Chain A
Amino acid sequence: MIDVQALKAKASDWPKGNGLDDMTVGQLFEHHWGRTLSQEDNTRFSTMTLHFNPLYFNTEYARAHDHESVVINPMLVFLTVFGLSVEALSESGGAFLGVEKLTFEGTVYPGDTLTARSKVISLRDSDSRPDGGIATWHTEGFNQRGERVIEFHRTNLIAKRLEGK
């Protein structure tokens, strides 16, 4: 029998992410993992969000518009690059406040692999949450050839200090 209380008492935490106090303006985060986007990802995302542009789910239609295959839905490119950045930037929790100046810069196709990095643009205290702060980052996403395919500025409320860190 496992004694769960003893297990909890013995285990050391392995916390994830960063709080506001772990960041400095100008700091660059190279984000983990990367993600190869498949046609299945794209079709499911596009149909589940009712994003009915045939470029994203009809190969013949995409070919008639000078693409060799379907195009990855730009909103999936945005969410994937955003997702890759979450652990480093905003996993500590708090409201996602907004995005400014998002530019889609290159077409992404099934089989392309995205990676992401972010730079800290500004850090300030929150009036409403003394244990939190408001951070703005410039996030960029790249394909496997190092070509930038997206950039945006994101602002989020995050914890000042991470539990257990």
Chain B
Amino acid sequence: MTTTPDTLTANDNYFEAFEPGQVFRHARGRTITEMDNVLITLQVMNTAQGHFNEHRMASSPFGQRINFGGITASFIIGLASQDTAEQALLEMGLDKIRFTNPVFHGDTLYAFSEVLAVDDAPREDAGVITFRHIGINQDDKVVFTGERRVMLKRRSHWGRA
């Protein structure tokens, strides 16, 4: 069997699939575990012990360790990625990232995406989408909002016939 790039990804999430105003609920949720928070926090050498010292955090107003916000951002963008990044050639940037509620071990996160803008790219086989991603927890509390610009392949150049 030989595979070409276009058979490894979906055919319904190229640049042309998106128009301003669309809102998507992404299919999967993700429960944040102690392993996720401790592993990724220290993988990237974030030395803030509020993320990995349970003894200290037990006497804090939170009463327990809190998830590193960078991980919350990565999970919400990750949960949105099969739909909004599978065809990405380039992640261009993020903006207006906000963490509106803390995330704790055992919380389950879900992701939504809104299309804010659709623009041409400097190359003709791609276009640039601006998304707003929203992350909520199991209690419908918003834990993350942020905008993301990404350059997606055009189906006209890269998709299956």
Contact = CB atoms under 8 A, between A and B. Distances in A.
A84 interface: yes
- The prevalent SS among residues of A at the interface is mixed
B143 to A, nearest CB: 12
B95 interface: yes
Contacts of A60: 3
A83 B44 CA distance: 5
B58 interface: no
Nearest to B9: A54
Contact of B97 (A76, A83, A91, A98): A98
Contacts of B48: 86, 90-91, 93
* Most chain B Cβ neighbours within 10 Å, of A61, A74, A75, A104: A75
A87 interface: yes
Interface residues of B, number: 47
B128 interface: no
Contacts of B129: none
Nearest to A54: B8
Interface string B21-40: 00000001010000010011
Interface residues of A, number: 47
A29 interface: no
Nearest to A84: B45
A86 B98 contact: no
Contacts of A58: 8
Interface of B: 3-5, 8-9, 28, 30, 36, 39-41, 43-50, 68-71, 73-75, 77-79, 81-82, 85-86, 88-99, 102, 146
Please name the 5 residue pairs, one residue from A and one from B, whose CB atoms are nearest each other, closest first.
A49-B78, A83-B44, A99-B97, A83-B46, A102-B94
Given A101-B93, A101-B95, A104-B90, 15 more contacts: A41-B43, A49-B75, A49-B77, A52-B82, A54-B8, A65-B89, A78-B94, A83-B41, A86-B46, A87-B47, A91-B49, A98-B96, A99-B97, A103-B93, A152-B94
